[in-house]
Structure 1
Amino acid sequence: MTLQKIKTASLKQFARKGYDAASLQLIADEVGIKKQSIYAHFKSKDDLFIDIFADAVDQEILELDRYFQAQAEQSLEAVLRGLIIEFKERYESAMNLRLILYVGFLIPSALENQVQALVTRYVQHKTSLVYERLAAETSVKLRVPVQSATIAYMNLIEGMLVELVYNGTAGFDPRLESSWDIYWHGLVQL
């Protein structure tokens, strides 16, 4: 029970403040234990962070799988545009997503290799799901090869995720509308 409380409090701290500003003392205070008690479960702040980050990646991969499965019958445009909107809608409340986005852009230098490997796993999974959906498309004719459509989409979605991290949701919709129109009209033959 205490382990799960530590992990929950740690996720919130790391997702809201990043690795450097997150405090083991604040985590311990939130759980109602002494800071030293964290070391009964984790060797160090680094060990705790990597555990939390790996869990976040696993959960977000499951979330991506859930999304694509639930949207299987929707149009290509609805699925791809909808995924970007889903990220916006989940950004404020989904701590796993916030952690991946925040740390993915501001990787702690001491943990660079471990974090980069986890971020790469997450991005590659997302990319493969997008590629598979584009490759399976039969209702619209693509103007570009599936690989190019996937790369362009990943550039679009990553740009929108940067918008979330640095500017929040305030300017998100106008940027998405402009970017989406250009992407979609460049992608499909009308």
Structure 2
Amino acid sequence: MKSNQLKEVALIQFALHGYQGASLAAIADEVGIKKQSIYAHFKNKEDLFISTFNDSIRNELEVIKRFLLEKHSLSLNEILYSFLMEYLDRYQKDHNMSFFMRTCFFPPLQFEEQIKSGSNTFVNELETVFLDVFDERKDEYNSNIDPDTAMLSFLTIFDGLLVEMLYGFPDRLEKRLTSSWDIYWKGITK
């Protein structure tokens, strides 16, 4: 039980302060244990960080799968556009997403390979999940576009919007979302 509590608190600390800025003493204090008690659950700060990151991957994938399940009855256009809107909106509100994005885009150098591996796992699963959506709804877009191409194009827009979300400003993000969506949707449906 304490290891899960430690990871929950660590997730917030890492999301807010990054790996270097997060303090094991602050994490332990918030959980209500002494700092040295963390080592009964994790070898060190690195172990806690990687364990928390791996959990964040699973959590993000679960959020996406749950979203797609809940929106299944909508049109493809509505599903995809609302996914972009809602997922991007979560960044400021959800510590798991902010930790995951911060870690993927700005990995601590000593964990770069592990983070890349985890990020690739996420992307591969994301492609699989969205390919199923595009396969299932082939009749809603141009039959000359194969589902894989439609999915990869959609995820490329998603990637660009994530970068804008991290580096840009909300009004520019909104403008890029509406502009790119309009062009994308017209492109795959004509």
Query: TM exceeds 0.5?
Result: yes
Instruction: Please name the residue that 1:55 is paired with.
Output: 55
Question: Are the structure 2 counterparts of residues 102 and 170 from structure 1 closer, same or farther at C-alpha, using a change threshold of 3 Å?
Answer: farther
SS at match of 1:120: helix
* Correspondence list, 1:57-96, <5 A: 57-96=57-96
The separation in 1 between residues aligned to 2:141 and 2:180, in whole angstroms, is 20
Question: Are the structure 2 counterparts of residues 167 and 151 from structure 1 closer, same or farther at C-alpha, using a change threshold of 3 Å?
Answer: same
Contact 2:131/2:147 (8 A) holds in 1:
yes
Question: Are the structure 2 counterparts of residues 166 and 142 from structure 1 closer, same or farther at C-alpha, using a change threshold of 3 Å?
Answer: farther
Question: Are the structure 2 counterparts of residues 131 and 51 from structure 1 closer, same or farther at C-alpha, using a change threshold of 3 Å?
Answer: same
SS at match of 1:79: helix
**Deviates further, 169-178 or 60-69:** 169-178
1:43 shift after superposition: 0.4
Contact 2:56/2:100 (8 A) holds in 1:
yes
Instruction: Please name the residue that 1:116 is paired with.
Output: 116
Q: TM-score, normalised by structure 1?
A: 0.91
**Gaps (5+ residues) in structure 2?**
none
Contact 1:141/1:188 (8 A) holds in 2:
yes
Provide, for residues 97-150 of structure 1, a one-character-per-residue CA deviation record: whole Å limited to 9, x for no partner. 111111111112211222222111111111112111112212332553222222
The separation in 2 between residues aligned to 1:143 and 1:180, in whole angstroms, is 19
Instruction: Please name the residue that 1:100 is paired with.
Output: 100
Instruction: Please name the residue that 1:150 is paired with.
Output: 151
1:170 shift after superposition: 4.4
1:26 shift after superposition: 2.1
Question: Are the structure 2 counterparts of residues 14 and 170 from structure 1 closer, same or farther at C-alpha, using a change threshold of 3 Å?
Answer: farther
**Deviates further, 162-171 or 111-120:** 162-171
1:49 shift after superposition: 0.6
One-letter identity of the residue aligned with 1:178: S
Instruction: Please name the residue that 1:21 is paired with.
Output: 21
Contact 2:141/2:188 (8 A) holds in 1:
no
Contact 2:6/2:28 (8 A) holds in 1:
yes
**Aligned-pair Cα RMSD in Å:** 1.7
Q: TM-score, normalised by structure 2?
A: 0.91
One-letter identity of the residue aligned with 1:128: T
SS at match of 1:72: coil
Contact 2:7/2:52 (8 A) holds in 1:
yes
**Deviates further, 80-89 or 140-149:** 140-149
Question: Are the structure 2 counterparts of residues 160 and 2 from structure 1 closer, same or farther at C-alpha, using a change threshold of 3 Å?
Answer: same
SS at match of 1:182: helix
Instruction: Please name the residue that 1:164 is paired with.
Output: 165
**Deviates further, 52-61 or 32-41:** 32-41
SS at match of 2:140: coil
One-letter identity of the residue aligned with 1:40: A
**Gaps (5+ residues) in structure 1?**
none
Alignment length, in residue pairs? 189
One-letter identity of the residue aligned with 2:189: V
Instruction: Please name the residue that 2:185 is paired with.
Output: 184
Provide, for residues 4-58 of structure 1, a one-character-per-residue CA deviation record: whole Å limited to 9, x for no partner. 3321110001112222222212212322332222112110111001111111111
